[in-house]
Amino acid sequence: MLHPKFNIQHSKSAPLLSSKIKALAQQYAPEMIAVRHHLHAHPELSYQEFETAAFVQEKLRSWGIPFTTKATTGVVGIIEGKNPSSRIIALRGDMDALPIEEANDVPYKSTKPGIMHACGHDVHTTCLLGAAKILQETSADWEGTVKLIFQPGEERNPGGASLMIKDGALENPAPQGIIGLHVNPQLEVGKLSFRSGMVMASADEIYITVKSKGGHAAAPHLTVDTILVAAHIVTALQQVISRNNSPFSPSVLSICSIQGGHTTNVIPSEVKMMGTFRAMNEEWRFKAHELIRNIVEGTAKSMGAEVHLHIDVGYPTVHNNEALTTKAWDQAKLYMGDDKVEETELRMGAEDFGYYSQVIPGCFYRLGVMNKEKGITSGVHTPTFDIDESAIEIGMGMMAWLGASV
Ligand SMILES: [Zn+2]
Ligand SMILES: [Zn+2]
């Protein structure tokens, strides 16, 4: 059953509005591509988005869109349509870049050594700005209020989304739903993809330190062998998922680093390990933390070693609300045509959008940016990531259309 809040009938003006938005997206595309070039050339790391936030504020101000600042470098804009309190929808864009040296030889290449917009957050910010301009211009044609959430720090714990929520981004007025997009370099430009229910995993970091009295390798009976204890822990941890998790719910535990010892004949007194744990079910997620603790501590104890375990609790799962997502998916088909909208695959990656979708209904969808003919195929978080920029017209038009119609 559709959530009543999203069960809004299409008004007769819907086709008119969608053509109007499409025409404006086409008209503003060159300006917004220039905006993307500026943002791409001036990337900033998580929680340091000062120039980016100032740039966003300047654009909103120039279009007459009121805004407030939140969580230091976050910006929240408000656009009112007809009957502003009849429906309130939030649109979200993230603004931070990554500590990667850009390898692309393009005119808009990063001007900051070691910092690059390699996850497309420059594109997300651009699409939200473009949508803001279109929504402001068409505000007499749609109902309700659109809240624009430009957030910092998606790439780093604790996640800018959690700080924006703490600072009141989802209050005064409180949106009934939130929509966000992410570029997808595996999806052809010209396409979008949606999925209801779970779309992305939670991500927690595991840190283990095994300690004991080390000593001479020829006299292991006088030591506790931390290397052997670590090896048993790694092996035993594999049963957390294979023997305890439902096979119908995806989950991953990977130990990705083991550091200990430095020569052939000394048993080290300390071994450090690091890894990641991901899940698609919040209940299982926290049960698994307990299992991990029992296995790590139990194994070390049974072998006579001391152990310290720290689980750094990261982003929650991203759950797409069924009613909101069905509505957005239908509206996307109406705007783009049925054949341009696909179903998103499940991913074990994480996104701090999950914090919003824990509080209010969320819909996180993907924007195709790949173009094989032009050789634009590099994945996100790589030094050669780029997009086919015709995606910007689609991304900003779609954000505006969803903001006005969902
Ligand atoms: Zn990323
Ligand atoms: Zn990202």
Q: pLDDT tens digits for the chain (406 residues)? A: 445 455 444 455 567 999 999 999 999 999 999 999 999 999 999 999 999 999 999 999 999 999 999 999 999 999 999 999 999 999 999 999 999 999 999 999 999 999 999 999 999 999 999 999 999 999 999 999 999 999 999 999 999 999 999 999 999 999 999 999 999 999 999 999 999 999 999 999 999 999 999 999 999 999 999 999 999 999 999 999 999 999 999 999 999 999 999 999 999 999 999 999 999 999 999 999 999 999 999 999 999 999 999 999 999 999 999 999 999 999 999 999 999 999 999 999 999 999 999 999 999 999 999 999 999 999 999 999 999 999 999 999 999 999 999 9
Closest ligand, as measured to the CA of 318: 2
Ligand 1: centre distance to CA 380 (Å): 7
Ligand 1: centre distance to CA 249 (Å): 24
Ligand 1: centre distance to CA 223 (Å): 44
Residues 6+ apart with CB under 8 A from 182: 120, 124, 351, 364, 365, 366, 367
Ligand 1: centre distance to CA 352 (Å): 10
Sign of the torsion formed by the C-alpha atoms of 374, 380, 386 and 387: positive
Catalytic sites, residue numbers: 96, 154
Of the candidates 390, 389, 401, the one whose C-alpha atom is nearest the C-alpha of residue 365 is 401
User: In angstroms, how far is CA 43 from the centroid of its own chain?
Assistant: 17
pTM over 0.85: yes
Whole-Å CA distances, 166 to 97, 153, 295 = 22, 14, 35
Is the distance from CB of 364 to CB of 353 less than 8 angstroms? yes
Beta strands 318-320 and 197-200 are: antiparallel
Ligand 2: centre distance to CA 300 (Å): 38
Q: Which two tokens stand for residue 93?
A: 């864009």
Ligand 2: centre distance to CA 261 (Å): 37
Q: Which two tokens stand for residue 190?
A: 């010209």
Closest ligand, as measured to the CA of 155: 1
Ligand 1: centre distance to CA 191 (Å): 20
Ligand 1: centre distance to CA 102 (Å): 15
- How far apart are the C-alpha atoms of 318 and 350, rounded to whole Å? 8
Closest ligand, as measured to the CA of 124: 2
Q: Which two tokens stand for residue 212?
A: 């004991």
Q: Where are the beta strands (DSSP E) in 313-361?
A: 318-320, 341-343
Whole-Å CA distances, 157 to 163, 309, 351 = 10, 19, 11
Ligand 2: centre distance to CA 217 (Å): 47
Closest ligand, as measured to the CA of 122: 2
Closest ligand, as measured to the CA of 156: 1
Of the candidates 281, 285, 307, 283, the one whose C-alpha atom is nearest the C-alpha of residue 294 is 307
Surrounding ion ligand 2 within 5 Å at CB are 119
- How far apart are the C-alpha atoms of 43 and 33, rounded to whole Å? 15
* Predicted pLDDT at 260: 98
326 backbone φψ class: left, alpha, beta (φ>0; ψ -120 to 50):
alpha
* Predicted pLDDT at 12: 52
